[in-house]
Amino acid sequence: MATAVESTNDSTREPKAEALCRRIWKATGGGSSYGGGLQLTATSSARVPVYTDGACHNNQGSNARAGVGVYFGPGHPDNVSRPVQGSRQTNQRAELEAIHDAVETIHRRNDGTNYEVKTDSAYAQNAFNKWGSNWQQNNWTTSKNEPVQHRDLIEPTLNRLNDLGDRVEISKVKGHSGNPGNDAADKLAGKGARGW
C-alpha cells in the first residue's frame, strides 16, 4: 500500500526526518536550498495469496476421478471447484489444472494486483519455476529425451505467466499442515473430484 508523507513546518515534526529530507533533496540534484514539500512514498511488494490444489480418488486406477480447487478467499466469486475433464485423471494433472485456472483468472481480472499462487505440489511448482523454460528450449522433451507429460497444460500456463510478467509468482506450501488457505483449496479439489 502506498503512503505519502509531506514535509511541513509543523513544530511537532521530528528534526531528523526534516534533515533526512534535506539530504535526499540535495543528493537527488534538488539544489542547496530545500524549501519543504518533498514527498516520500513507500510501496509494498505484498502479494495476494491464491491457493491451488488437485485431488484424485483412486489415483492412476482405472476408475480414477480428479478434481481442481482454487481458493481466492472465503466466499470469493473466483473460487473454483470442478472435476478434471478428459481421460487423464491423475493428481498431477489436477494440480496443474488448478494453477492454470488460477493464472487464467488473474489474467482475466487484469486488476494490476500482484499475486502469489501457492501449491502443495513440488512437481507443479518445479514445472513452472524450474523445468518449463528448459522444456521449451528442448522442444518439449525431458532430460531423458521423452515427451513432456501434460504439455497441453504447462505450455499455455507458462505463456500466460510470461504475459503477466512479475505480477504472479508460484510458490510451494506444505500440504495438510493446517494452513487455512491450502486446506480450503484441498476441500474444493476434493469436492470437484466427487462431482462426477
Average pLDDT of each block of 10 consecutive residues along the chain (196 residues)?
Answer: 38 52 54 52 71 95 94 97 95 98 97 97 97 94 94 97 96 94 98 90
Give counts: helices (H), strands (E), the chain.
Answer: 6, 7
pTM of the prediction? Answer: 0.77
pLDDT of residue 2: 37
Query: For the chain, what are the domain ranges?
Result: 3-42, 48-194
pLDDT of residue 5: 36
Cell of 152: 497441453
pLDDT of residue 195: 87
pLDDT of residue 44: 46
Distances from the Cα of 99 to the Cα of 42, 56, 103, angstroms: 31, 16, 6
Q: What is the DSSP string of 68-136?
A: EEEESSTT-TT-EEEEPPSS---HHHHHHHHHHHHHHHHHHH-----EEEEES-HHHHHIIIIIHHHHH
pLDDT of residue 62: 86
pLDDT of residue 26: 57
pLDDT of residue 22: 57
CATH of 48-194 given 3.30.420.10, 3.40.50.11540, 3.40.50.720, 3.30.565.10: 3.30.420.10
Q: Give the sign of the dihedral formed by CA 149, CA 151, CA 152, CA 158.
A: positive
| Packing angle of the helix pair 151-164, 91-109 (nearest 10 deg) | 30
pLDDT of residue 176: 87
